[in-house]
Structure 1
Amino acid sequence: MGENDGQSTYSVSADKESIGSFTCPMADQTFAEGKQFHKTFANVQITEGAELEVASKIASADGAEYSRARWSELTFTPANEATAKAAANFAKENQLVAAKTSAESNDRTGSPTKPVSDQPLQMPREKDGDGSVQVTGEKRMWHKVTVTLTGPYAHEQDNTPNPYLDHRMEVEFKHESGKQYLVPGYFAADGNAANTSAEAGTQWRAHFAPDETGEWTYTVHFATGKNAAIDRDASAKTVAAFNGKTGTFNVAKTNKSGRDFRAHGRLRYVNQSHLQFAGTGQYFLKAGADAPETLLGYAEFDGTVAGKPGKVPLKKYEPHLGDWRRGDPTWKDGQGKGLIGAVNYLSSKGCNAFSFLTYNAGGDGDNVWPFIQRDDKLHYDCSKLDQWGIVFDHGTENGMYLHFKLQETENDDHRQGQKAKGFKPESLDGGKLGSQRKLYLREIIARFGHNLALNWNLAEETTQTTDEHLAMLNYIEEMDPYGHHRVLHTYPGEQDKKYDPLLGDKSNLTGVSLQNSHIKDTHWQTVKWSEKAREAGKPWVVAFDESGSAAHGQCPDLGYRGYDGRDKTGKMTYTQHEVRKQTLWGNFMGGGGGVEYYFGYQYDENDLGCEDWRSRDQSWDACRVAIEFFQNNAVPFWEMVNADELVGNEKHDNSKYCLAKAGEAYVVYLPNGGTTSIDLSDADGEFQIHWYNARIGGDLQSGSVKTVSGGGSVEIGQPPADADQDWAVLLRK
C-alpha cells in the first residue's frame, strides 16, 4: 500500500531464503492501493509447509513523519500450465476448507479442522487382518500389558471411515475376583510405527496395568459407525470378525524395586491432600520440572514442526546425550537419546516429576500437537505418539510423575487471555465438549493412561467456563478406567473465579495446579486452597507448578553461565536459596502436594527454550533433600495440616512455618534460622526435638534442647550449627 509520508521497503522470504524486495513508491494521500504499489516475483519455488516472512522497513520523506509499512495481502499464482495442473487439487481442497473456515469464523463458535487428504480412503488398500489377538509385555502386577488385535486395515489419513473417530476398540479386563476395567483402545498402524513411521496397517491396541495377581480374562469389543469412538449412542455396529475375541493371561507379582513406580503401584487420589500409591500404601510428595512447557517439541519426534523457528526452535537436548545409558530405549536406530537422557538426569537428582503440553498450536511454542498435521484435528500421528509413549514409559520406570497439560490459554477456547477476547481457530470445539475434544481426550487416555503416576491438567492458564470445565472433567472420568488425578491451572488473578465453583461435591476435580506472580506468595496461597478444599468437604492435592512471575520463576543456579541473581535485563531478582525456602518448603509446609519449577523467560534455559536441566542442578538437590526429610524420617505429612499459628505466624508469611498432626507430631521450618517457641497447650506428654539441615540433608541432629513437654508454649532451642541458615525441626513423641 502506498503512503504519502515515506517509501517503505518490503522483503519477502521463504524458509529464511530471500525471494526479493520492493520499495513502494509514494502515494498522494495517507495510504492508497493500486497496481503501481504491487510487486510480482516470478518463477519462485515454494514447497508445502514453507514458512513465508514479510519484513518491512519504514522511511520518512521529510524527516518528521514516517510511513507505517502498510500492506494488504500476499497472493500466489501458478507460474505456468504444468504448475497450475499440479496445484489444482491442492487449491480445490484449500477453497473447500477456506469456505468452511470462513463460515465457522463468522459465527465465532466453530473450530475449523483441515483434513490432510480430501479423499475418502487412501489407496491402494490392503486386506483386513484375520482377527487374531496377541498379549504382550511383562505380565506382572503394575506392569504394562498390551492387547493387540489384527483388525481392519486403515490409514492415518482415511476419512470415511476415520480410523480414530468411526471405529471403537475397547478391551474389557476382568479379574477372577470379579474386579474389571474397560480400557479404550486405538489404531496403531503397523504396530511398530515408532520405528517404521508407518501410516497404515491392521494393528489395534489397548494397554493395561493390572492391579491384581492371578488370572485375568480379556474381551475385545469392536464396533464401527459414524462417531462410534466418542458416542455410545451413535448407530455403531459390532464387527463380527473382530468383536468378542477373548482369552486369559496370568499376572505375577512385580519384580521391581527402588524408584521404579512399578514397585509402588498406581498413584491415586484417596480423598486426602496427598496422593497414595495403591501397591505400597505410601504417600507422595512431588518435586520436579514444569519447564520447558515445549518438552515435546523435540526434533527427533516424527511430524514435529517448529511453528516459530526463530523464537522456539525444536529441541535436541544435546546437553543430556551423555546421560543416556546403554539399555535405555530409543527409536529408529538410536533417536531419542537426548530426551531419554534428560529424564535420566532429573531422576538421578532425586526429582520425581516433569510436565509438558500435549497441544500448543497457536500458543507460545506452537510446536506440539498429536495430529498428523497441525490443523487436522481428527487424524492422529501413530508414529509420533508411539515415540511420546516411549518417553512416558521410561519416565514411569524411573520414578517420574507425568504432568499432562492438555492445552494452554491460547487454544483452550475462543477467549484469548484474561480479557476473554478474540477467536482461536486452533481451539478444540471452541472450548466446548464436541467431537474434536472428545476424540483428543480419548486418544491421550487410550495411549498413555496405563502409566502409573500422572495427572490430567485440563489447561494451562485456562479461560474456559465452569460448564466447559465440568463437561471436560466428567468426560475424562468416564473415559479413564484408572481414575487418575484431575487438576486445573489458571491465572493468579482468576483463581477464586475458576476454583470456587468446583469445590467439594460440585465437581470431580481432585486438585489444583497453582500459579502466582511472586514466589513470596507461595506459602499462604497453598494454605488458602488447602483449607478451602478441606472446609468444602473434599480435600484437594494443592501443587504449586508455576511459582514466580512470568519473567522469572525458578532462576538458574548461581554461577551458571555467570548468573549472579540478575536476569537478562540486569534486574536483580533472587537466587535458588529464596526459591528453596519460599516455593519448595513453602508449599510442603502449607500442606501442599508438591512443586514443579517454572523457568520464566528472562533467564538462560527458559520456559520455552530450556534444553539443559543442569541449569538448576542445585535446586534439584534441594528438592531431593526436602522429600527425604519427610520420607526417610517417617513424618506423617498426609495426616498433617498447616498450623503456622502455633509458632506465632497467623498471617502465614515467610518468617516461619508449622505443620502439625495435633498431639503427635509437629514440623517447624525456619527459613532464616534462629529459633522459635511453639504452642503445645493442646498436647500432652514428652516430645523429642530433632533438627534437619534443609540445605544439604543428612541424618537428624540434636540442638540445644533435646525434649519438651506438652501443656503450654515451649522453646525449641538453637540449631546444631549455622544458626543463621534454614533448618527444619521435627517434634514427635
Structure 2
Amino acid sequence: MRQILILFTLLLVLCSGRGQTMQSVKIHGEQKVWHKITLLIDGPETAEFAKDNPFLNYRLVVTFSNGNKRYKVPGFYCADGDAAETSAEEGNKWMVRFRPDEVGIWDYSISFRKGKDIAVSSHLHIGKPVGPDGFKGSFVIVDSDKKAPDFRGTGRLEYVGKRYLKFAGRDSFFIKNGADSPENFLAFVDFDQTYRYGTNEMWREGEANPKEECHYYSSHVKDWKKGDPIWKESNGKGIIGVVNYLASKDVNSIYMLLLNVQGDGNDVWPWIDYNERYRFDCSKLDQWEIVFDHMEKQGIMLHLVLQETENECLLDIGQTGVQRKLYYREMVARFAHHLAITWNLGEENGPAHWTPIGQTDQQRKSMAAYLKHINPYSSFIVLHTHWNDSIQDKYLLPLVGFEALDGPSMQIGEVGKIHRRIRHFIQLSSNSEKQWVVNLDELGPAYKGIMPDEFDANHDTVRHYALWGSLMAGAGGAEWYFGYKYPHNDLECEDLRSRDLWWNQTRIATEFFSRYLHFSEMESADEIIDNKEAYCLAKQDEVYVVYLPKGNIPTRIELDSSGKDYSIHWYDPRHGGKLQTGTVSSFRSPGKMNIGFPPIEKEKDWVALVRVKQ
C-alpha cells in the first residue's frame, strides 16, 4: 500500500508540473532511500584551466528538503559530465550528488552564483546568478531493495555520541576491521595523471619510469568479476579486484591518503598538476568515485586521510584559508554523499623531532570545525596521532571534549601499550562533554606492523596485544599497517593476500563481537579479574568477556549480583567456530568465581564468555 501511495503521489507531482521540466537539469540514479541521486546540470561553458577558475569563482549549492529534513549540498564542476571515460578537461556540466534518507517527495532548489572566491564564501547572496539559479523541482524516493553488507541496505554510518558508529537505517553498531596499507592506495596506474612525482620531468629511456612506481595490483585482476565496474573499456580491474578480495575477507574499511604531495609516496593529489592548489582533475576524481561506489556496495568504509605530517602546512601555511577551504569543499562535494566515511584531518598530525614544522592546536580545531560546517551529512572526523605517548598527550589532551572532533585515529608504536592507551582515551573522553570513538589505525614498530604470513604465519603477538587488546579496551575497531622492512609494505603493497592468514584472524574476532555481544553496551573492566595479563569487557550483571593470553593461568572474576546463575563458554580466537565448554560450565554469584580452563590447547590464548543464564 505504501508503494502505491508513493507512485500515486509521483503522478500528481508530474501532472502538476513540479517534476523535472528543464533540459538543463537531469536526475540520474535509482530513486531509493540511501541510493546516490545525481543532478547533472547544464551551466557555464568553461574548463579546468580556464582563466576564470570554475572551482573557485562559481558556487553551486542545491537544497533538498522532505518534511523536517533539509540538506544544503555543494555541487562541483565536472567538465563534460563523463570525464572518467573521456578524460575531458572542459565542458558545461556541473553536478550534485545527494543521498535521501526518507521515502516520499523530495523538493530541491538550486543556487548557482558567480563571483571572486565565492566557492569558499559563507555569504549566501553575494555574486551574480548563473545557469539554472533559482530553479526548483521534485522527485519521489521509495524504499531501498539492497541488503547488508551493501551500505545502501544499512544506511549511513553515524557518530551518535557513543564509542561506536551506528547504522542510521538499522539498530546496530559497527566495528571496524580495516586495511591501513598501502596508504597510497589511490596511486593506481589506471587513474588519470597518476605517477610517482620527482622523475617525470627528467625521465629518459633507461631511467626509472614514474608510472612503473605506481600500484598495478596485477595479482588482484583475477578478483575482478564480470559486471564489476571498469572505465575506458578495461581500466580499473586491479584496484576493483583489491576491493573484492578484501570484502571476501570481511574487511570493512580502507585507509587512503587523498594528498601526499611532499610526503612519503608523493604520488596522490586531487589537482590537475602536482604544483597546483586551486584546480581539480575532473577525470581522476570521477575515476576515484567509481572505486568508492564499488567499495560502498561491498560494505567497505572510505577512510579518507586529507594530508600527512610532511605536508600539513602545505595549504595556507597550516591555516584554514582559501586553499584548504577549497580543497575540503571539493572533497565534500564529490565524496561526502557516501554512506560510510571517516574524515581524517591528517596522518601523524603536529610537529615532531623529525618534522619540526607542523600545525598548532588552534589550526587543528579550525580544520575540524570547517569540515563539520560544510558537510551536509553526519560526518565522522578524526585526527591521526604520532606513535609515542608524550606527543599523543601533547596534541590530543587539548582536543578532549572539542565538539568538532569525534575521536583519535591512534598510532601506537609499542604493541604492549595498545590496550592501555586506547582505554585511557576512551575514559578521558567519557568524562568530558564528548565521548570519543577511539580506533587503532596503525601499530608499530614502523618497520614491522603486520608482517606477511610467510614471516609470521600465526601472528600470535599482534593477535593478543593489537587485535584483542584494542577491541577489549572498547575500541571502535582497527586497521592494519604493513611494516616498511617487509615485502608488500605500506607504500609498495601490490598483493593484499600477503596477509591472508591475518585477515582470517581479524574476521574471527569481529564475528565474535557481532554474533555474541551487544558490545555498544559494554565497557572495559579489567579490574574485576585477578589475571593481570588478561582483558575483561563487561555489561555489569549480564555478560562478561575475558580474553586470556594463556588459557592455563587460573583466573577469577568478581561478580556483585546476588543469586544469579552464569554459564561459561569458550571461544577460540585463532580458529573461531562454535562456543565450547571448558572445565567449569556454570556458577552462581556473588563473589570471586573461578572461570576454569578451556577444553583443549590450554597453553594457547582463549576467550571466555560469561553470561547470565536465561
In structure 2, C-alpha distance between the alignment counterparts of 1:205 and 1:294, rounded to whole Å: 27
**Structure 1 pair 399/684, CA: closer, same or farther in 2 (3 Å)?**
farther
Distance in structure 2 (CA, Å) of the matches to 1:241 and 1:350: 45
1:503 to 394, 400, 408: 400
CA distance in 1, matches of 2:336, 2:430: 28
Q: How does 1:170-181 map to 2 (within 5 A)?
A: 170-175=61-66, 177-181=67-71
Q: Which whole-Å CA distance do the structure 1 matches of 2:450 and 2:99 have between them?
A: 35
Match of 2:11 in 1: none
1:667 and 2:545 correspond: yes
Give the whole-Å Cα distance in 2 for the aligned partners of 1:402 and 1:554.
Answer: 21
Normalising to structure 1: TM-score of the pair? Answer: 0.76
- For residue 150 of structure 1, report the CA deviation from its aligned partner: 0.8
Paired with 2:526 and 2:198, the residues of 1 have a C-alpha distance of: 46
- Note the alpha carbon deviations across 1:543-593, whole angstroms, 9 max, x for none: 011111111111111x3xxx268xxxxxxxxx6221111111111000101
Displacement of 1:351 in angstroms is 1.2
1:324 aligns with 2:224: yes
Partners of 2:562 and 2:231 lie apart in 1 by 59
For residue 302 of structure 1, report the CA deviation from its aligned partner: 0.2
Structure-2 separation of matches of 1:717 and 1:234: 67
Q: What amino acid sits opposite 1:478 in the alignment?
A: H
Matched, 1:403 2:303: yes
CA shift digits 1:277-333 (9 cap, x unpaired): 000121010012100011111110001121256699101000100000110001111
CA distance in 1, matches of 2:433, 2:530: 27
Measure how far apart 1:672 and its partner are: 2.1
Question: What TM-score results when the alignment is normalised by the length of structure 2?
Answer: 0.91
Residue 709 of structure 1 corresponds to 588
Cα deviation for residue 649 of structure 1 reads: 5.3
The answer (yes or no) to whether the contact 1:308–1:365 under 8 Å persists in 2 is no
In the TM superposition, what is the alpha-carbon distance from 1:537 to its structure 2 partner?
3.3
Give matches, 1:245-394, under 5 Å. Answer: 245-307=135-197, 313-394=213-294
Deviation at 1:683, TM superposition (A): 6.1
> Residue type matched to 2:149 in 1?
R
Superposed CA deviations along residues 105-130 of structure 1, whole A, max 9, x for unmatched, are xxxxxxxxxxxxxxxxxxxxxxxxx8
What is the CA–CA distance in structure 1 between the aligned matches of 2:134 and 2:229, rounded to whole Å? 34
| Offset from partner CA, 1:138-171 (integer Å, 9 cap, x none) | 11111111111111111001132x1001100011
Q: Secondary structure at the match of 1:513?
A: strand
Is 1:625–2:503 an aligned residue pair?
no
State whether structure 2 residue 21 is matched by structure 1 residue 154: no
Aligned-pair distance for 1:252? 1.1
Equivalents in 1 of 2:160, 2:86: separation in Å?
41
What are the Cα deviations for residues 151-201 of structure 1, in whole angstroms up to 9, with x where unaligned?
Answer: 1111001132x10011000111101x2211011110011110000000011
How far apart are 1:256 and its partner, in Å?
0.8
Pairwise mapping of residues 315-714 of structure 1 onto structure 2 (< 5 A)? 315-413=215-313, 427-463=314-350, 464-493=359-388, 494-504=391-401, 506-557=402-453, 559=454, 563=455, 576-633=459-516, 635-648=517-530, 655-674=533-552, 675-682=554-561, 685-714=564-593
CA–CA distance in 1 between the matches of 2:486 and 2:420? 26
Alignment check: 8 A CA contact 1:678 1:713 kept:
yes
CA distance in 2, matches of 1:717, 1:731: 11
The residue type equivalent to 1:321 in the other structure is: V
State the match for 2:599 in structure 1. 720
Instruction: Give 1:664 shift.
Output: 1.3
Query: Structure 1 residue runs of 4+, over 4 Å off?
Result: 308-312
Take 1:684 and 1:213, find their aligned partners in 2: how far apart are those partners? 49
Q: How many residue pairs were aligned? A: 570
Answer whether contact 1:131 1:242 (CA < 8 A) is retained. no
Task: Give the secondary structure class of the aligned counterpart of 1:492.
Answer: coil
Return the offset for 1:639.
1.1
Aligned-partner residue type, residue 337 of structure 1: K
Which secondary structure state, in structure 2, belongs to the residue aligned with residue 541 of structure 1?
coil
Deviations 1:586-632 (A, max 9, x none): 11000101110111201110001001100100111111111110111
Pair 1:140-2:32 in alignment: yes
CA displacement at 1:361 relative to structure 2: 0.4
Matched residue SS, 1:590: coil
How far apart, in 1, do the equivalents of 2:339 and 2:323 lie? 26
Residue in 2 aligned with 1:163? Answer: 54
8 Å Cα contact 1:291-1:598 kept in structure 2: yes
2:604 corresponds to which letter in structure 1? Answer: Q
CA–CA distance in 1 between the matches of 2:23 and 2:319? 37
**CA contact under 8 A between 2:43 and 2:130: conserved in structure 1?**
no
Residue identity (%): 44
Q: Which 5+ residue runs of structure 1 have no aligned equivalent? A: 1-129, 414-426, 566-574
Q: C-alpha separation between the residues in 1 aligned to 2:93 and 2:108?
A: 17
Deviation at 1:232, TM superposition (A): 2.2
Instruction: Give 1:490 shift.
Output: 1.8
Structure 1 letter corresponding to 2:460: H
Letter of the 2:78 counterpart: A
State whether structure 2 residue 149 is matched by structure 1 residue 225: no
Check 1:683–1:319 CA distance in 2 against 1; reply closer, same or farther (3 A cut): farther
Letter in structure 2 aligned against 1:482: Y
Task: Give the gaps of 5 or more residues in structure 2.
Answer: 1-21, 200-207, 351-358
Q: What is aligned with 2:611?
A: 732
Q: Deviation of residue 236 (structure 1)?
A: 3.2
Distance 1:683 1:461, change over 3 A: farther
Q: Deviations over 1:405-450 (max 9, x none)?
A: 100000001xxxxxxxxxxxxx011110011000000011110101
Query: Aligned equivalents of 2:443 and 2:550: distance in 1?
Result: 20
2:354 aligns with none
- 1:570 aligned residue: none
8 Å contact kept, 2:44–2:130 = no
Structure with larger Rg = 1
Offset from partner CA, 1:377-416 (integer Å, 9 cap, x none)? 0000000000011111110110101111100000001xxx
CA distance in 2, matches of 1:272, 1:482: 18
Quote the Cα distance in structure 2 between the aligned partners of 1:538 and 1:232. 27
Change (3 A) 1:256 1:564: closer
- Cα RMSD between the aligned structures? 1.6
Asked whether the 8 Å contact 1:556–1:576 carries over to 2, the reply is no
How far did 1:673 drift? 2.2
Alpha-carbon distance, 1:476 to partner: 0.5
SS of the equivalent of 2:566 reads: strand
**Amino acid in the other structure paired with 1:444:** M
Instruction: For 2:56, give the aligned amino acid.
Output: L
8 Å CA contact 1:470–1:507 kept in 2: the answer is no
Report the Cα offset of residue 131 of structure 1. Answer: 6.8
8 Å Cα contact 1:228-1:235 kept in structure 2: no
Q: Give the partner amino acid of 2:64.
A: F
Task: Report the Cα offset of residue 682 of structure 1.
Answer: 4.8
Partner Cα distance (1:351, 1:461) in 2: 23
